[in-house]
Structure 1
Amino acid sequence: MKVLTYENIIVGGGLAGISAAIELLDNHKKVLIIERDIEENFGGLAKKSFGGILFSGTPQQQKAGIKDSPQLLYEDWMRYGAFTETESLGAQWAKFYSEHSISIIYNWLVSKKVDFLPVVNWPERGMDVKGNSVPRWHITWGTGYDLSHKVTNYLLHHPKKELLEIKFRHKVQSIIIENKKAVGVEVLNVLTNEKFSMTSENIIIASGGIMGGDLKLVKSHWHPNLSTPPDSLLNGSHKYADGAIHLDLEKKGIPSTHLNKQWHYAAGIPAPHPEEGKFKDGLSLVPARSAIWVDATGKRFTPPLVAYTDTSYFVEHILKTKEQYSWSIMNWKIAIKELAVSGSDYMTAFRNRDKLRLIKDVLFGNKALVSRLIEESDCFIVADTLDDLVKKMNQQDQNNIVDLEILKKDLKAYDDEIDRGKKYFNDEQLRRLVNFRLYRGDKIRTSKFQKILDPKAGPLIAVKQYILSRKSLGGIPTNLNSQVIDKNGDVISGLYAVGESAGFGGGGIHGDRSLEGTFLGSCILTGRVAGAHIAGTTL
């Protein structure tokens, strides 16, 4: 077998791997990136994301009068993630992120010409556990597509680009470890099926998590609190995020931790344009807050699910139902005001940095997006009356299980409460909507207590939503240098793991759930830390 020698090998060309590569080039180190995908997809899943990142202490927050601090962020993180051990590797990484989100992540992105919208968003406030105390979710102007493009462009045109080599359509099948030191990798050329070995002083694993592929690892590590894995589970992760490297390392005494901690979304639909070769490709919606969420029979969830509030809570309660999927009921007026897609392909005004179009969408509604979703997806049901809507909903299920009378009763009760006036609101969803609209960033995209059955706001829209896999909250354990740690707690010399491969840091930086926006941020954080440690510098 042919053997090639390199100085530093990075396994994976996503945001974490690219961040590590830039750090190494900045320090005049030679780098080989081995990427399984085609060149067109260089940049990974970040390229298709909405591009939201969590920061604490940004100029955007300060200008808006948002009083935040690293300590407040850390306290929110520990509570929401349900950490019980503040000295665990994951908790240490969470503290490190909280303290350095500006210096290591925000400032670095700004230096690459990445910019953010002035309005800071406020997801994950929490249902039964308090989440973000203040708005922290910063949307990249241009979405993840622009962020990925600018960071990738910086890498490819780096002043030391002669030190960089990239091998596309190559798959790392195994990490070679001898006497607790990583010495190389075994590689397959996907196009020619040629196998060969590469030796290297340092290897950085940046190959993603376990939430993609054929979803087998997702289901085999299913959390017991989430009932059973649904047959309808959609794939919202990368098609090559199959956990192959995790399984390889486990055989060598380096087991991953917390793989049953997984970040799923509650409002997935089958992708209208599925990616070639991707199993059960799904699209993640950002559902409307003013929509009424009901189970497969048409019964409203109690307490009501209010979109954008607590992702894990939603997933857990939907999966407790027999059919394990849900519907959100709204009308045209609500949909064009509030509905969005968690991805760059559909959010064209954001992706294309079209200010006039964005202002128009905010003021008059994103009619083009809703029309496109209705046209492209069978999960969007439209009708002028509730009777016709339910008939169409039931056509999607042979058992005709949506109960018109139950749904009508719940919707009428909700609308009647709106008619009585805001000072008499006692419905939990309406109380939360009142609170949301107190903050400018939420008010501009939340309807003013819109009734569902209002004939002037029609037609009615029902969206059939499935659980969609997204991110691994667990992974390869690492210390604060991004060095891999084996089952005995010993450092594997020359081996690093970054991004989702490492559970975004320490094998579990998020704990049980995320404050949202910490995924892209921790890819940059862990990648830069690994590169700096190899180069012998500090950030």
Structure 2
Amino acid sequence: MLAAGKRMRQAENIQCDTVIAGAGVAGLVTALELLEHGQTVYLVDRDTSERIGGLARWAFGGMALSGTRQQRQMNIPDDSTLLLRDWYSFAEFAEDDLWPKAWAKEYAEHNNEKVYRWLTHLGLKFLPAVNWVERGLFVPGNSVPRYHVLWGTGRELVETIMVKLAPYIRQGKLDIFYRHKVVRPINDEGAVVGVEVENEQSKAVFSINATHVVIACGGINGSSERVKQNWNVPWEEVPETLLNGANPISDGLLHDEVEALGARVTHVDKMWNYAAGIAHPQAEFEGHGLSLIPCKSALWLDHLGKRIGPQPLVTGFDTHYLCQQVARQSKPWTWQVLNWTIAAKELAVSGAEHNPSIRDKKIFCFLKEILFGNHRLVEELAEQCEDFICADTLDDLTHKMNLLTKESYIDSADLAREITLYDQRTVDTRLQNDEQLRRIHHARQWKPDRLRTRKPGPILSAGTGKRDKLIAIRLKLISRKSLGGVQTNLSSQVLDRQGEPIVGLYCVGEAAGFGGGGANGVRSLEGTFLSACILTARNAAAAIIGSKHR
């Protein structure tokens, strides 16, 4: 990656056209669009140069897109009308959600032009297979497959943008202040005219004067305390243990300052967390977690080893529901029990870090893992993660599960009965009267999912080889994205409590709740985050550029 440096300046002389608080993908896209139209831009980011791009750098790179070439090649009938219908169904907007609804419509109508075609124009490519995620459970979700994965993951997106930004850095049009944070916007008689900045190493404070200020600081879910404060009441009490899958520097403090300026911050109780978190083997901070894409063919059990129900938990249909059910358990962990064969076929970890074949664009390695199973990942987690247990026998597995929780919650005979009952239902396809099996069969009807979902079969086996090993994975809720945020109009202008734009102030990406302070409503169709960062950023840049000509 190109290392972007900042030129040292006298604090009292720092002046630019636009200053952007945050160098995640929303901030980077905003900067690129403005620089291409002749502006001078300062980016202020709390992280190091190696981590520029924020969570997008580590993201898997999935995006919900419609009307794409990949969809046409797979004969998927999709358009903006269908996408908006699915979005409204999953979002369950309130009647007064004016701007979230407006941004949902904006996304549905312009994701192809402003996101998909923009990315392909940059030279980025998507995998040819379109995945079908968040299909819906009690309310309809994605009625067709529309989850597109970037070839190269989110890292390729960030590095491609950085290559585009490099000439502007050399020309002095762009400065990036690393390890600095925007403390607050500067208000001058109702207009925002710059920002107050703190050097997080020296603690020196200075101001940057600018005609336009863009808030791109990410969400608030990096702060476990904020997550607990904003916890959705219908989900019962906050779990004792909650893993953090965001970045601790996304702490919500800048949201507070923007709100103090008169802006509306809405829907902070709405979050896109995940139900299948495990401890990060190389944790960088306390509570650091990884988000698994859990196996459809695994049994999802409570702390006693009982199958959670009556509706069994199966991924790929309604993540919001999975989180609700896990949050309602009497202990802050659940279990998935499976075997090695299932894990090699189905298990995945969300993000670029644990998908090197896609991240590094190694096509033969990728195809090998798809066709023969990702044994590398299973072995890696078995060796490195304390929450990942392997055993040759069910008695041994039960013993290790109880050792991990330091309490004999699970009885081996009870666990055997749960698994055996399920296994018996997998034997005769005519008699598979089980909701989990029905959902597995439904998933396998779509070819890309069939490649990643095992044909129903027993978990317990009489064999003694590696493929017959039993696996138990201890899972915890993991915080990820904030669905709420600073309320904005379709120009990404920050709105005050009367619904009027605050002059000079814009907000993009997760900081804006991916548009309007909560464009996803209660649920995301999945893949609406990276793409919404690009959409809100491009709208902000267009408005800023347009304002110069008015």
The alignment's TM-score, normalised by the length of structure 1, stands at 0.97
Does 1:75 pair with 2:82? Answer: no
Q: Partners of 1:455 and 1:67 in 2: how far apart?
A: 45
Aligned partner of 1:430 among 437, 459, 462: 437
Amino acid at match of 2:441: V
Amino acid at match of 2:439: R
The answer as to whether partners of 1:15 and 1:520 remain within 8 angstroms in 2 is yes
Q: Partners of 2:292 and 2:477 in 1: how far apart?
A: 11
The CA deviation at 1:454 is 2.3
The CA deviation at 1:153 is 1.9
Amino acid at match of 2:401: M
Deviations 1:90-129 (A, max 9, x none): 1100110011111000011111111110000111112211
The answer as to whether partners of 2:486 and 2:507 remain within 8 angstroms in 1 is yes
The CA deviation at 1:164 is 1.3
Amino acid at match of 2:267: H
Aligned partner of 1:56 among 48, 58, 66: 66
Q: Partners of 1:402 and 1:157 in 2: how far apart?
A: 60
Amino acid at match of 2:360: N
Q: Partners of 1:494 and 1:279 in 2: how far apart?
A: 37
Aligned partner of 1:205 among 203, 215, 240: 215
Q: Partners of 1:57 and 1:144 in 2: how far apart?
A: 21
The CA deviation at 1:381 is 0.8
Amino acid at match of 2:450: K
Deviations 1:433-488 (A, max 9, x none): 11111101100110011211123441000000110000000000000000000112
* Residue of structure 1 equivalent to 2:455: 448
Amino acid at match of 2:312: P
The CA deviation at 1:279 is 3.6
Aligned partner of 1:94 among 96, 99, 104: 104
Matches within 5 A, 1:362-373: 362-373=370-381
* Residue of structure 1 equivalent to 2:494: 484
The answer as to whether partners of 2:494 and 2:506 remain within 8 angstroms in 1 is yes
* Residue of structure 1 equivalent to 2:4: none
* Residue of structure 2 equivalent to 1:523: 533
- The alignment covers a number of residue pairs equal to 534
Q: Partners of 2:187 and 2:46 in 1: how far apart?
A: 21
Amino acid at match of 1:317: Q
User: Aligned pair in 2 of structure 1 residues 156, 450: CA closer, same or farther (>3 Å)?
Assistant: farther
Amino acid at match of 2:513: G
Does 1:249 pair with 2:258? Answer: yes
Aligned partner of 2:149 among 131, 139, 143: 139
SS in 1 for 2:379: helix
The CA deviation at 1:157 is 3.6
* Residue of structure 2 equivalent to 1:501: 511
SS in 2 for 1:138: strand
Q: Percent identity at matched positions? A: 43
* Residue of structure 2 equivalent to 1:282: 289
Aligned partner of 1:119 among 129, 133, 148: 129
Q: Partners of 1:143 and 1:422 in 2: how far apart?
A: 38
SS in 1 for 2:265: coil
Deviations 1:3-38 (A, max 9, x none): 322211011000000110111012111111111111
Aligned partner of 1:229 among 231, 238, 252: 238
* Residue of structure 2 equivalent to 1:216: 225
SS in 2 for 1:22: helix
Does 1:411 pair with 2:433? Answer: no
The CA deviation at 1:231 is 2.2
The CA deviation at 1:270 is 1.2
Q: Partners of 1:433 and 1:71 in 2: how far apart?
A: 28
Task: Provide the aligned C-alpha RMSD in A.
Answer: 1.6
Does 1:377 pair with 2:395? Answer: no
Deviations 1:212-242 (A, max 9, x none): 03x1111111111221111210110122110
SS in 2 for 1:146: helix
Deviations 1:191-215 (A, max 9, x none): 22211112110000000010003x1
The CA deviation at 1:413 is 1.2
Q: Partners of 1:69 and 1:537 in 2: how far apart?
A: 32
Aligned partner of 1:266 among 258, 269, 275: 275
The CA deviation at 1:401 is 0.8
Amino acid at match of 2:420: K
Q: Partners of 1:309 and 1:325 in 2: how far apart?
A: 21
Matches within 5 A, 1:265-344: 265-275=274-284, 278-302=285-309, 303-344=311-352
SS in 2 for 1:37: coil
Q: Partners of 2:60 and 2:547 in 1: how far apart?
A: 32
The answer as to whether partners of 1:473 and 1:510 remain within 8 angstroms in 2 is yes
Amino acid at match of 1:359: L
Aligned partner of 2:354 among 343, 346, 368: 346
The answer as to whether partners of 2:291 and 2:349 remain within 8 angstroms in 1 is yes
The CA deviation at 1:422 is 1.7
The answer as to whether partners of 1:85 and 1:91 remain within 8 angstroms in 2 is no
SS in 2 for 1:188: strand
Moved more, 397-406 or 65-74: 397-406
Amino acid at match of 1:77: W
The CA deviation at 1:73 is 0.5
Q: Partners of 1:284 and 1:87 in 2: how far apart?
A: 30
Q: Partners of 2:344 and 2:96 in 1: how far apart?
A: 43
User: Aligned pair in 2 of structure 1 residues 287, 492: CA closer, same or farther (>3 Å)?
Assistant: same
The answer as to whether partners of 1:236 and 1:282 remain within 8 angstroms in 2 is yes
The answer as to whether partners of 1:287 and 1:308 remain within 8 angstroms in 2 is no
* 4+ residue runs over 4 A deviation: 158-161
The answer as to whether partners of 2:169 and 2:175 remain within 8 angstroms in 1 is no
The answer as to whether partners of 2:264 and 2:495 remain within 8 angstroms in 1 is no
The answer as to whether partners of 1:186 and 1:197 remain within 8 angstroms in 2 is yes
SS in 2 for 1:495: strand
The CA deviation at 1:271 is 0.8
The CA deviation at 1:86 is 7.6
Deviations 1:150-200 (A, max 9, x none): 122222245995421111111111111233211111111122221111211
SS in 2 for 1:423: helix
Matches within 5 A, 1:37-56: 37-56=47-66
Amino acid at match of 1:129: V
The CA deviation at 1:537 is 8.0
SS in 1 for 2:162: helix
Amino acid at match of 2:479: S
The CA deviation at 1:2 is 4.3
Amino acid at match of 1:217: R
* Residue of structure 1 equivalent to 2:180: 170
The CA deviation at 1:87 is 6.1
Q: Partners of 2:175 and 2:473 in 1: how far apart?
A: 46
Q: Partners of 1:371 and 1:94 in 2: how far apart?
A: 41
SS in 1 for 2:506: strand
Amino acid at match of 1:304: P
SS in 2 for 1:83: coil
* Residue of structure 1 equivalent to 2:7: none
